[in-house]
Amino acid sequence: VEASIPENQREAWRKHSAHGFENKDEFEKEAVRHIETTLARSLFNCDELAAYSGTALAFRDRLVIDWNRTQQRQTFADQKRVYYLSLEFLMGRTLDNAMLNVGLKDAAKDGLTDLGFRIEDIISQEHDAALGNGGLGRLAACFLDSMATLNYPAWGYGLRYRYGIFKQEIMDGYQVEIPDYWLDFNPWEFPRHDITVDIQFYGYVRKYQDDDGKSHAVWEGGEIVDAVAYDVPIPGYKTGTTNNLRLWSSKASRGEFDFQKFNSGEYESSVADQQRAETISAVLYPNDNLERGKELRLKQQSFWCSASIYDIVRRFKKSKRSWSEFTDQVAIQLNDTHPTLAIVELQRVLVDIEGLDWEDAWKIVTGTFSYTNHTVLPEALEKWSVPLIQNLLPRHLQIIYEINLQFLQMVERRFPQDREMLRRVSIIEESQPKMVRMAYLAIVGSHKVNGVAELHSDLIKTTIFKDFVTIYGPDKFTNVTNGVTPRRWLNQANPRLSEIIKAKLGGDEFLSDLNLLNQLENFVDDKAFRKEWAEIKYANKVRLAQFIMAQTGVSVNPKVMFDIQVKRIHEYKRQQLNIFGVIHRYLTIKNMTPEERKTYYPKVSIFGGKSAPGYWMAKNIIHLVNSVAQVVNNDKDVGNLLKVVFIEDYNVSKAEMLFPAADISQHISCAGMEASGTSQIKGVLNAGLLIGTCDGANIEVAREIGEDNIFLFGTLAEDVEDLRHAHSYSQHSIDGDLLKVFDAINSGIFGDRNSFSAIVSAVADHGDYYLVSDDFNSYIKTQALIDEAYKNQEDWITKCITSVARMGFFTSDRCIQEYAESIWNIEPLPPASKA
């Protein structure tokens, strides 16, 4: 390609080609240039936000250079790419990560000092990119980081929501949701107005026969909305590879019907059409693990799937290969069932537009897709009503029916006697109205299905997808246990810890080869190292204590145990168990003599997390936590023995501050219900211990770090069903200590007796679905073990160091390697210099 450009032109480009800054002075020059010319500010009105913007723009220039090179290299290399389709990418802040990955953080730090700023203040100016709810969205962000770091040719595809997850404010103890408009200044995205795709909705299907008697379907009429691409560079760590995340934004079509309306004087309704189109990508649905079947959500999914498939197919067609080579070039990973329509859309494009035979197309489709399941909760499994799809996507519905027909015929051939089986596995549920079961469609349309932790992957095979294991055999189902990126969750979140690990290991290779952490075990008895280790934890706690004081006015002593539970608020995650435990502790303290109190274990109990706006019980739990905090924190009898804090608006950047300050973190879901969890990994990696149930990835964490280093308790997943059954038959007996907690709540000492009693009733009177009463006693006993263990700081630190040393398995780099090798079948493409 290059050879076709005349030498003098090439020379001119080479001479002026951008390089970006390389050192402190050049950084200052670039930052100041951006502040003065891009932002039109000066020395006299450059506040911290402007300094952030200038710094970000200087780093952005560096990213873009690598990004352009990577995209060119990937295009010319013409090898297989993976596309990660996720409705959520919970990225958090970008600047710090960009500085680390580009490798010029020290230059920026010194340069900012020269310009009169502290780098930490500048970093904290950035608004989190919060295009996700929780674990699923954050996992996608960690995966992008790992795919780039490992040099995989990979793209993410998502939606560019104008409003990310809402900002949570706590008013009088209640959660209030504030819209998160985050796009005022976002230097990390590049609008690509030239990459715009027409997306069709509604309309009808016309069938016709061609001259050879072959029948065809054409989708006609309806309305068109434009999908405009916004690209975000994703730099890898210590590599030139910078991948692309493409987010689609909806816009009214450029089509002529607007102009007709303008001309006929319908200006207002034309503007209204425009707004309606823009609504599609306006807001992230704030529900995690709950499906509500809203039309706008279906529109979001189909809009994003169609645009992404169009883009992927267009790129493939440029390679001029034959369709049979599609699966040698393209792998598509579905992050949960939200992108399942991409399966249908690819089949539609191949059959209706490209003219392939159904069977040939279907082979390509199933060879391309793979599906990750993140939940077994029935209320979270997506189903869409047939009439809704019929109206919005008439051709897609026909294709879904055809896929189902072929699938059921196959099943019938293999299991001719089993009519029940056909009913059970049908993609269409014969309810009123009929529903499309998206998980079944995703399984049928994929070549691999994975769960996200061993227990979860086993559970899906024996429960919700059991029949599909019988039909397809066990090899279609696999496990990839979740991990997190150590760049963000160790180096960025905990720079000092990362620094002493680097000093001990003689380099920072552990950040890209996390198993190297195991060498830390050699230093577990190193006195100076242990001392510094403890100092770092203390400093992180001081920082959090200052934050808590500033945010809530509550004074907490950084010398006492910090116990945190931060994650989405959900009954299955059992924040109610935690707060019951806190109340039990409060009552225990109240019953002590002043003498006894002197020797009791002081503790700070920290909660944080958002509730879905329509999830009344979760909001009620937030209110209870805040109400208990009010009472406990102001009780003179309690003093510093117990403080309760609710951290407002938990998000990625707060997580980066919280985990480094945790002595212990709680992962106490009802067994079998948390698919994996990822925050326990963040807790241990940041030198905190865990209290957890035998659920999700906790089990594997215990296996890796050793059972002595983790506080496990509670019911096993295999016993959950029997216990629930027992609850519904017998009046289940409730532990005396828990009854006292209930009495305290019902007495009204925490206020709002009426709503809080619903939290109690769910356990005491309504079957206790989440087995809070079954686990309460062992929870309290385990908390007592923790209190005792914390007294012995020497042993505690040994446990922490040993645990960190054994966490190598839980890097998202390992996950990506597993996906690449056993699911996507793709090879890395390192930059020439690093090859």
How do 477-479 and 448-451 pair as beta strands? parallel
Which two tokens mark 481?
């246990």
Provide DSSP, 245-265.
Answer: EEEEEEEE--STHHHHHHHTT
452 contributes a contact to ligand BZD by CB under 6 A = yes
Contact 359, 366 (CB under 8 A): no
Q: Which is nearer to ligand BZD, 143 or 790 (CB)?
A: 143
Q: Which is nearer to ligand BZD, 235 or 677 (CB)?
A: 677
Question: How many angstroms separate the Cα of 2 from the Cα of each of 146, 390, 482, 592?
Answer: 31, 49, 42, 81
The radius of gyration of the chain's CA atoms, rounded to the nearest angstrom, is 28
Residue 549's contacts (CB-CB under 8 Å, 6 or more residues apart) are 555, 556
From its phi and psi, is residue 203 left (phi > 0), alpha (psi between -120 and 50) or beta? left
Which residue stretch of 223-231, 405-413, 673-681, 684-692 sits at the interface with ligand BZD (rule: CB under 6 A)?
673-681
Q: Which is nearer to ligand BZD, 358 or 572 (CB)?
A: 572
485 contributes a contact to ligand BZD by CB under 6 A = no
366 counts as catalytic? no
Q: Which is nearer to ligand BZD, 280 or 545 (CB)?
A: 280
Binding residue for ligand BZD (CB under 6 A) from 457, 676, 709, 803?
Answer: 676
Binding residue for ligand BZD (CB under 6 A) from 180, 226, 273, 288?
Answer: 288
Tell me the three state secondary structure of residue 221: coil
Q: Which is nearer to ligand BZD, 544 or 823 (CB)?
A: 823
Angstrom distance (rounded) from CA 84 to CA 334:
7
254 counts as catalytic? no
Q: Which of the residues 60, 62, 338, 682 is marked catalytic?
A: 682
Query: Shortest Cβ distance from residue 452 to ligand BZD (Å)?
Result: 4
Binding residue for ligand BZD (CB under 6 A) from 696, 714, 751, 808?
Answer: 696
Q: Which of the residues 678, 715, 782, 811 is marked catalytic?
A: 678
Query: Shortest Cβ distance from residue 615 to ligand BZD (Å)?
Result: 13
Q: Which of the residues 374, 448, 530, 574 is marked catalytic?
A: 374
Longest dimension (CA), the chain: 97
Angstrom distance (rounded) from CA 559 to CA 29:
44
414 counts as catalytic? no
Please compute, for residue 754, the number of CA atoms within 13 A of its CA located in the half-sphere on the CB side.
Answer: 0
Query: Shortest Cβ distance from residue 290 to ligand BZD (Å)?
Result: 7
Binding residue for ligand BZD (CB under 6 A) from 674, 768, 774, 813?
Answer: 674
Query: Shortest Cβ distance from residue 695 to ligand BZD (Å)?
Result: 9
Angstrom distance (rounded) from CA 409 to CA 359:
14
Q: Which is nearer to ligand BZD, 130 or 520 (CB)?
A: 130
Taking each helix axis as running N to C, give the angle between helix 772-791 and helix 575-590, from 0 to 180 degrees, rounded to the nearest 10.
60
Angstrom distance (rounded) from CA 108 to CA 106:
5
Contact 389, 397 (CB under 8 A): yes
437 contributes a contact to ligand BZD by CB under 6 A = no
Q: Which is nearer to ligand BZD, 24 or 461 (CB)?
A: 461
Query: Shortest Cβ distance from residue 651 to ligand BZD (Å)?
Result: 14
683 contributes a contact to ligand BZD by CB under 6 A = no
Q: Which of the residues 34, 437, 568, 623 is marked catalytic?
A: 568
Query: Shortest Cβ distance from residue 136 to ligand BZD (Å)?
Result: 3
Torsion of CA 425, 430, 436, 438, to 10 degrees: -30
Binding residue for ligand BZD (CB under 6 A) from 62, 80, 93, 374?
Answer: 374
Angstrom distance (rounded) from CA 713 to CA 702:
12
Query: Shortest Cβ distance from residue 88 to ligand BZD (Å)?
Result: 6
* Strand runs labelled E in 658-742: 664-667, 689-693, 711-713
Query: Shortest Cβ distance from residue 528 to ligand BZD (Å)?
Result: 37
558 contributes a contact to ligand BZD by CB under 6 A = no
From its phi and psi, is residue 614 left (phi > 0), alpha (psi between -120 and 50) or beta? alpha
590 counts as catalytic? no
Q: What is the DSSP letter of 524?
A: T
Q: Which is nearer to ligand BZD, 85 or 380 (CB)?
A: 380
| Window 114-153: residues binding ligand BZD (CB under 6 A) | 133-136, 139
335 contributes a contact to ligand BZD by CB under 6 A = no
Binding residue for ligand BZD (CB under 6 A) from 334, 455, 564, 675?
Answer: 675
568 counts as catalytic? yes
From its phi and psi, is residue 511 left (phi > 0), alpha (psi between -120 and 50) or beta? alpha
Binding residue for ligand BZD (CB under 6 A) from 159, 247, 334, 380?
Answer: 380
374 counts as catalytic? yes
Binding interface with ligand BZD (CB under 6 A): 133-136, 139, 287-289, 374-375, 380, 452, 482, 674-678, 696
Active site residue ranges: 374, 567-568, 573, 678, 682
